[in-house]
Amino acid sequence: MTDDGAGTGTAWQLSEEQQLIRRTVRDFADQHVDPIAAEIDEEERFPQENVKRLADLGLMGMLVPEEYGGSGADAVSYAVTIEELSRSCASHGVIASVNNSLVAFPIHRWGTDRQREEFLPNLCNGGLGAYALSEPGAGSDPAGMKSTAERDGDSYVINGQKNWITNGSHADTFIYFAKTDPDERHRGITAFLLDDDMEGFEKSQPEDKMGIRAAHSVSLMLDDVEVPEWRILGEEGQGFKIAMQVLNGGRVGIGAQAVGIAQACLDDSVEYADQREQFGQTIGDFQAIQHKIADMAMKTESARNLVYKAAAAKDAGEDVARIASIAKLNASEAAMDNAVEAVQIHGGNGYSTDYDVERYMRDAKITEIYEGTSEIQRTVIARETMGR
């Protein structure tokens, strides 16, 4: 792979600054992520030490202006960063993706000056954010959420439960969605900025998951949590609109994560095919393996191009709903396809934890599920394409 990660002859050529970011993140991953990736997966250990290192490099607030402690980087640079982290460890990729695109970005986009000053420096410099939308009975249908926020003078009292909250175990800042008008369904949803030390705010133990095991997911239980009115993000009743726009951008990050996984599968498969010998030659000399490698390379390159295109559209201020869904769907399916083929190329060794491809396969599956399942992506793409 070339320095810009896009390969020879593709439509995407990264700028010198973007190439520098890629090399910086790759060097960081080689030094700090690769050596612990398998270990933290096995132990389900959150890589807190690397979160601070990422913040020191300016990679936890990439889309936030420098005046609030961020890097002021573009979305393509952000996609490159998540891709490179995920090549080594998909858990690192999603930890950074959630903090950047699902928490810091919307606070800057919709927050008041007070909210920006209160929350963004912490998120950019070692604090951690989480995005609390999903509920036990409201995953793909957030309008069906049961969390409520009732006004009480200058405050709101929030009750409810959220689940599958990535970063929740270590986050100190949460964007929490609740209904201020339950009769209005999605039009009655409001976004709130919460701290994890508020009275009545509790977290579960991390879920025991199949993949991205070092990126903890927890349930949140809120029992009469009092939240001052100034902590509303945007306006009352604007929560659903904010949530959907945030997810559109967030799909760029998950698409980049999937590209990183797909590339890791390809890299490891090429290396293994050049070393493993059967019938007196390396398995890479067999056309059957070569065709698998060719398909994996094709899927990785096409996925990367679509993700970068979606990121560039975000940078241009365009409506990214359609292209972000296309990019996320394509990249997640490429990651899963490549993971399956990587295990197959490795044969019995691919089924062993001695090789990383079994971890890639477990990690790849979640990219087809979170921040909008593949089925939801196809619905969005169809509606946007047909104008419905």
Percent share of the chain, pLDDT over 90: 93
Residue 165 Rama label (left phi>0; alpha psi -120 to 50; beta):
beta
Residues identified as active-site: 371
Confidence (pLDDT) at 8: 38
Q: Hey, how many other C-beta atoms are within 10 angstroms of the C-beta on 297?
A: 18
Determine the average pLDDT of the residues in 189-216.
97
Question: Can you tell me the distance from the alpha carbon of 182 to that of 62, in angstroms, rounded to the nearest whole number?
Answer: 35
Q: What is the pLDDT of residues 222-277, one digit of tens each?
A: 999 999 999 999 999 999 999 999 999 899 999 999 999 999 999 999 999 999 99
Confidence (pLDDT) at 12: 66
Long-range pairs for 202-207 at CB < 8 Å and ≥24 separation?
Answer: 203/168, 203/169, 206/44, 206/46, 206/169, 207/164
Hey, what amino acid is at 198?
M
**What residue spans of 169-320 are helical by DSSP H?**
239-275, 287-315
Nearest to 46 by CA among 13, 95, 82: 95
Q: What is the pLDDT of residues 315-370, one digit of tens each?
A: 999 999 999 999 999 999 999 999 999 999 999 999 999 999 999 999 999 999 99
Residues 6+ apart with CB under 8 A from 320: 248, 249, 252, 310, 313, 314
Percent share of the chain, pLDDT over 70: 97
Is the Cβ–Cβ distance between 336 and 344 less than 8 Å? no
Domains of the chain, first to last: 16-128 (1.10.540.10), 130-239 (2.40.110.10), 243-386 (1.20.140.10)
Q: Hey, how many other C-beta atoms are within 10 angstroms of the C-beta on 152?
A: 12
Confidence (pLDDT) at 5: 46
Q: What is the pLDDT of residues 263-291, one digit of tens each?
A: 999 999 999 999 999 999 999 999 999 99
Determine the average pLDDT of the residues in 285-314.
97
Q: Which two tokens stand for residue 242?
A: 């904010």
